[in-house]
Amino acid sequence: MQKIALPLVCLLVGGAAGYSLSSFNNAEPVQPAKLVAAKSEVAKKTAEAPSTGSTATSKVTPVSASGPLDHLLKDLVADYDLKSAQRAVGNLSVSEIQTALAQTAQMPKSTDRDALRAQLYRAWAAKDPQAAWQAALADPQSKNNGSLLGAVAGELAKTDPKAAIEMTLKLNMGDRRATVMRALFTEWAKVDAAAALNYSNAHPELPVDSYAFSTGLSRLAAKDPANAAKLALTMKDSLTRGSSLSAVMTAWIGKNPGDAVAWAQSLSDPSQRRDAIAAAIGAWAKVDPQAALAHAESITDPDTRANTLKKGFNDWFRMDPTAATAYMAAPGNEDIMQSMGYSFGYLTDSLTPQERATLLAQLPEGKAKEDMLRGITAHLSRKGQFNQALEMLNAMPDSTMRDYSVAKLGEDWATTDLTAAGNWLKIQPASTDRDLATAGYANTLARTDPKGALQWVESIPDPKLRQSAQRNIAVRWLRTDPPQAQAWINTANFSSVDLKMIETMSKMSGDFVPTLVTVGQRH
């Protein structure tokens, strides 16, 4: 396909994305490209919540005179350190804690001030949990924030977790209660991970976040990794089970990779064995990636081997993308390349376009590389980074999957900002890429303006591509205005196959209509 070179331009549109128009005289030159990318700037506004001084609770006696305690509190906030704060407030009496809470409530609001106040409530809960809970409930800081209540519940959970759970469940539903429940189980798991996790598994009705057990399991793994791994496998949520297994295996691999992998391979349950081996190889890959992947290659079960190779390589790539890509590009590692595919977009999320391009340039041409490129463009389009997606698409050779990706980009951009996408299309030179993006754009526009969408696709010179775009519009139109849609369909030159497809798809539930496009002649 002929590549074209045009200057980058900025587009003036209203719209949520905040696109703006720059003159062609000030535009920056670009390398030849199949589609012209339009610069966009998104205005990011951050608003800080106004600082509001909180007052002492009825149980706290305000103190106005400055003294040693006042100096201590100011020093702790000025240079906050968790361990120092815990040591300092742990020796205070209940009355001193109450005074300290009154004084810190008058300090300017800050993250460090709030963290110190949580430690004060934690110290109070160690001495009198019921009184501390009531005071935390009355504290204005707890109105929409669960940090103070979480400090009290977490401290009580170390000695009486059931009582802490009962108190927490009395709170109204919402984020505050979820925060308190997470803090409660986090502290319980630090003391007894097995008891906390077993209780949660036995009471699935509890609104507890599974990530609350991560710290406790990691601590247990440092002493007894096999027991910690067994507990991680009992977690119901697959995502947290996987992350917890990875954390446990990281601690275990650091001591003895052989024992960790052998334990994982000894599990009788196929699903647990697969997850445990993948976690072990993934952790091993962070220490000795080539040894880990070599071991993964020796696994006989094809599904387990593929899953393990992918997990090990992904963990290596996150740590050292350059070395991992060089390994993948070497002869004999085609299986790893094929396993990456769509996930490559997520793995390269933190890289710049230039870094992404450098890595991709190392890979041999073929379907696996095309799949990675497609994965990147799809990921970037979902994030609204359409210019970067265009750069990736322009690097791909013509193919059916590339055609779909270009059309999907037009559809996604229109979904994000219809006006910006339309103005971008207007500056595109005549090409099949422009026609594909127009077909995708029209598919989105047809939700609200099918006649306008038809006007757009009339500009597509390729009859085959134009008719496939019209078919997508017909499906959407039949769902919203059947009489008018049918009247137009009767005048269109659809084949019997197209008519059958239109009828079938229009009867499907939901709003989704896939951007099905077919190119006849490229130009």
**SS3 sequence of 97-123:** HHHHHHHHHCCCCCHHHHHHHHHHHHH
Model pLDDT, residue 397 = 80
Model pLDDT, residue 38 = 55
Distance CA 80, CA 120 (A): 13
Model pLDDT, residue 39 = 44
Distance CA 434, CA 340 (A): 29
| Cross-strand pairs, 38 | 9
Distance CA 187, CA 178 (A): 14
3-class SS at 431?
coil
Mean pLDDT of the chain: 83
- Average confidence (pLDDT) over 279-287: 88
Q: Which residues of 122-141 are buried (b: 16+ CB within 10 A; e: fewer)?
A: bbbbbeebeebbebbbebeb
Question: Of 329, 320, 262, nearest to 286 (Cα)?
Answer: 320
8 A C-beta contact, residue 289 and residue 316: yes
8 A C-beta contact, residue 460 and residue 466: yes
8 A C-beta contact, residue 375 and residue 343: yes
8 A C-beta contact, residue 341 and residue 307: no
Query: Bigger pLDDT: 64 or 494?
Result: 494
Whole-number Cα distances in Å, 317 to 74, 197, 246: 45, 32, 15
Find the angle CA(487)-CA(491)-CA(495) to the nearest 5 degrees.
115
Distance CA 306, CA 439 (A): 37
Q: Worst-scoring range by mean pLDDT, 212-216, 399-403, 476-480, 486-490?
A: 399-403
Output the six-digit token pair for 28.
């920056």
Reported confidence tier of residue 393, pLDDT bands at 50, 70, 90: confident
Distance CA 378, CA 401 (A): 11
Report residue 184 CA to chain centroid gap.
Answer: 26
Distance CA 413, CA 382 (A): 9
Which segments of 192-269 does DSSP mark as H helices, in order? Answer: 193-202, 214-223, 225-233, 238-255, 257-266
Q: Report CA Rg, the chain.
A: 30
Percent of the chain with pLDDT strictly greater than 70:
86
- Average confidence (pLDDT) over 468-478: 90
Distance CA 81, CA 112 (A): 9
Model pLDDT, residue 460 = 94
Task: State yes or no: pLDDT of 398 exceeds 50.
Answer: yes
Q: Which of 25-29, 238-242, 294-298, 449-453 has the highest mean pLDDT?
A: 449-453
Output the six-digit token pair for 207.
């609104």
Distance CA 450, CA 250 (A): 55
Query: Bigger pLDDT: 297 or 2?
Result: 297
Whole-number Cα distances in Å, 164 to 127, 152, 307: 15, 8, 41
Report residue 405 CA to chain centroid gap.
Answer: 22
Distance CA 128, CA 68 (A): 24
- Average confidence (pLDDT) over 399-418: 89
Q: Worst-scoring range by mean pLDDT, 57-66, 90-99, 139-148, 342-351?
A: 57-66
| Cross-strand pairs, 33 | 4
Distance CA 19, CA 42 (A): 7
Reported confidence tier of residue 270, pLDDT bands at 50, 70, 90: confident
Model pLDDT, residue 405 = 87
Q: Which of 193-202, 230-239, 271-280, 379-388 has the highest mean pLDDT?
A: 193-202
Distance CA 407, CA 194 (A): 52
- Name, in order, each residue with C-beta under 8 angstroms of 173's C-beta and a sequence gap of 6 or more: 207
Reported confidence tier of residue 238, pLDDT bands at 50, 70, 90: confident
**Secondary structure, 3-state, 252-298:** HHHHCHHHHHHHHHHCCCHHHHHHHHHHHHHHHHHHCHHHHHHHHHC
Q: Which residues of 212-234 are buried (b: 16+ CB within 10 A; e: fewer)?
A: bbbebbbebbeeebeebbbbbbe
